Amino acid sequence: MSADATRKKIVALIAAETKLSPTEVVVMLEKPKQEAHGDLAFPCFRLAKTMRKAPPVIAAELKEKLFAPPLPEGLAKVEPVAGYLNFTLATDTVITDLLRQVLEQGGSYGSMTEGKGRKVVLEYSSVNIAKPFGIGHLRSTIIGAALNRVYRKLGYETISINHLGDWGTQFGKLIAAYRLWGSEYEFADNAIYDLYDLYVRFHEAAKSDPALEEKGREEFRKLESGDTENERLWRRFHDYSMRDFNRIYEQLGVRFDYLTGESFYQERMTPVIEKLDKQHLLTVSEGAAIVDLTEYDMPPCLLKKSDDATLYATRDLTALLYRKDTFNFDKILYVVGSAQKLHFRQFFKVAELMGNEWVAEQAVHVDFGWVKFSGQMMSSRAGTLIFFDDVFAKARETALEIVIQENPGMDNVDWTAEKVTIAALVFTQLKVRRNRDVNFVWEDAFSFRGATGPYLQYTHARLTSLASKYGKPLPDLSADLLLLGDEEKQVTKRLEAYPAKIKQVAESYETSFLAEYLLDLAAAINSYWQRIRIITDDEKATTARMQMAYAVRVVIADGLRLLGIEPLKRM
């Protein structure tokens, strides 16, 4: 009997006896937090009033009346404990069936077809041209890329967009700065740092020379009106920057289908503004064109400045409508920091008012908290930016030392150290709830123990080396799996939750659920590993254990890949 059928039977029995409706019983049944309490629990507290008996008495009576031996099929134990009636399911066949399923499906275990024929657009990373990739950008990039993979696993077609910050007056300033001091720089390998330096230098100089600001604005106006020389420079800045970003994206294993940034929408905004005007949504206030949103308890959405220039709301609105036209998505996700919450609410509402009812349902701001450094905010303005390259280089040094120390004679130490470093950096971003600010602590970036990405990689490496020691091909689908003991069941049982976990991530845009799940699974197999020898002379027991270990490895590997972490074979 399946676990589900057993559950239904319990519900039916209790409902009949207590005069509760079956749905009420279903809602009341819970999963005990502690494994010792079994698989299901029925709390009797609410019955105390109507039955006028103490909960423990009710629990004991229910057991006597409904679950006196012999127990119904599928149940191994029924026990009243402190006002609860606890059920332990007879899991023998359930667990072996589960294990067989994982072994058969391998890496596609947990894959689903629910997304088939459905399309999701994801906007993430969205870095700024001429600004080095900071630790702050990491969060959007990592979360977005992970969600992208999760949706693909569920069968969705995904379209990933890097909405580059590649337009605005800052480019005028940069051009001005370049004309002044550009000859002093080489723009070689890490040209983006030269650009950043130019930008910072311009700001410094502008403090004592206000004329520079005007110069910057003028250069931008020239750029906008199609000045070939300025366009050429803009293109160069763009290319320098992308060269660096692409290097980082490659390290992180992140790819984009489109690199359409703000400049891309430059030409496309006018029709949108015109349409808004035609629909009488636009009003002029203090010289600016706005959409009034007081009815929705929001400040007005500003779409044109008093000097006629557009704003980011104008671009984002245009982009949203353009993407709907172009891709006809079922859902669009914006992985952007929570500081922009209001901005998204505003332009989503404006799009809706334009007659796009789908927005409320399909457009989602997947917001996330700040990355703080030692409790301090990081901002380019305050000059407290931490660059990804610096963190990566430093962490990699430590990783390399450890890799060499732990694996004397291994040949691909550099590659391994890099993958371990990425795992550490990526995992710290993904394991905490999105809405929380994450505190970036240097020591954590260099820690490869405990609840970290490398811990999961290590677990995977152990299981891989175990398999090669075993020697026989795995999985062995002809093998008898019935020899799983209680210890093996405790581990195997956890695999059941994997598919639901992936769905949960997709529904909540919350990667931490998967991260937590993998940690729990790894902890279970590591604890098992320490206590029980897997390969012994007992051939049958060994086969069963190896099958379990294999299944666990497959799930860990798959989960790690979804998160963007390389499951290492050796480390």
Q: Which of residues 364-403 bind RNA (CB under 7 A)?
A: 369-370, 375, 377, 399, 402-403
- Strand locations in 419-528 (E): 438-440
Q: Which of 78, 272, 282, 311 binds RNA (CB under 7 A)?
A: 311
The nearer residue to RNA, 156 or 206, going by C-beta atoms, is 206
Q: Which of 88, 464, 511, 547 binds RNA (CB under 7 A)?
A: 464
From the list 174, 163, 166, the residue with the least C-alpha distance to 129 is 166
Query: Within positions 74 to 133, which residues make up the interface with RNA, using CB under 7 A?
Result: 81-84, 86
Alpha carbons within 13 A on the beta-carbon side of 486: 7
Q: Does 312 bind RNA (CB under 7 A)?
A: yes
Backbone angles phi, psi at 303, to 5 degrees: -115, -20
The nearer residue to RNA, 104 or 360, going by C-beta atoms, is 360
Query: Within positions 146 to 185, which residues make up the interface with RNA, using CB under 7 A?
Result: 165, 168
Pick the stretch among 4-12, 90-98, 213-221, 446-454 that binds RNA (CB under 7 A).
446-454
Q: Which of 3, 11, 28, 195 binds RNA (CB under 7 A)?
A: 28
**C-beta of residue 38 within 8 angstroms of C-beta of residue 32:** yes
Query: Within positions 222 to 251, which residues make up the interface with RNA, using CB under 7 A?
Result: none
Instruction: For residue 474, give every residue at least 6 positions away whose Cβ sits within 8 Å of its Cβ, in sequence order, or none.
Output: 467, 546, 547, 550
Q: At what angle do helices 512-531 and 539-563 cross, to 10 degrees?
A: 150
Q: Does 141 bind RNA (CB under 7 A)?
A: no
Q: Least distance to RNA from the beta carbon of 134, Å?
A: 13
Cα(416)–Cα(3) distance, integer angstroms: 42
Q: Does 21 bind RNA (CB under 7 A)?
A: no
Pick the stretch among 131-139, 186-194, 309-317, 482-490 that binds RNA (CB under 7 A).
309-317
The nearer residue to RNA, 30 or 274, going by C-beta atoms, is 30
Cα(536)–Cα(293) distance, integer angstroms: 71
Cα(430)–Cα(515) distance, integer angstroms: 7
Cα(105)–Cα(127) distance, integer angstroms: 38
Would you state the structure tokens that stand for residue 134, as one six-digit string?
Answer: 């900071």
Length of the chain: 571
Cα(261)–Cα(168) distance, integer angstroms: 11
From the list 125, 135, 123, 127, the residue with the least C-alpha distance to 429 is 135
Q: Does 461 bind RNA (CB under 7 A)?
A: yes
The nearer residue to RNA, 128 or 148, going by C-beta atoms, is 128
**C-beta of residue 263 within 8 angstroms of C-beta of residue 162:** no
Q: Least distance to RNA from the beta carbon of 54, Å?
A: 10
Q: Does 69 bind RNA (CB under 7 A)?
A: no
The nearer residue to RNA, 302 or 565, going by C-beta atoms, is 302
The verdict on whether omega for the bond into residue 475 sits within 30 degrees of 0, i.e. cis, is: yes
Q: Does 449 bind RNA (CB under 7 A)?
A: yes
Q: Which of 458, 498, 509, 550 binds RNA (CB under 7 A)?
A: 458
Query: Within positions 479 to 538, which residues make up the interface with RNA, using CB under 7 A?
Result: 512, 516, 519, 522-523, 526-527, 529-535
**C-beta of residue 484 within 8 angstroms of C-beta of residue 99:** yes
Cα(274)–Cα(60) distance, integer angstroms: 73
Q: Least distance to RNA from the beta carbon of 19, Å?
A: 16
Is 228 in a helix, a strand, or coil?
helix
Residues in contact with RNA, total (CB under 7 A)?
100
Rg of the chain on CA atoms, in Å: 29
Pick the stretch among 26-34, 318-326, 353-361, 554-562 that binds RNA (CB under 7 A).
26-34
Query: Within positions 321 to 350, which residues make up the interface with RNA, using CB under 7 A?
Result: 338-343
Query: Edge-to-edge strands of the sheet including 376-377?
Result: 376-377, 371-373, 438-440
Q: Least distance to RNA from the beta carbon of 327, Å?
A: 21
Q: Which of 7, 37, 149, 324 binds RNA (CB under 7 A)?
A: 37
Pick the stretch among 3-11, 94-102, 136-144, 284-292 that binds RNA (CB under 7 A).
284-292
Q: Which of 8, 119, 275, 570 binds RNA (CB under 7 A)?
A: 570
Pick the stretch among 36-44, 101-109, 263-271, 384-392 that binds RNA (CB under 7 A).
36-44
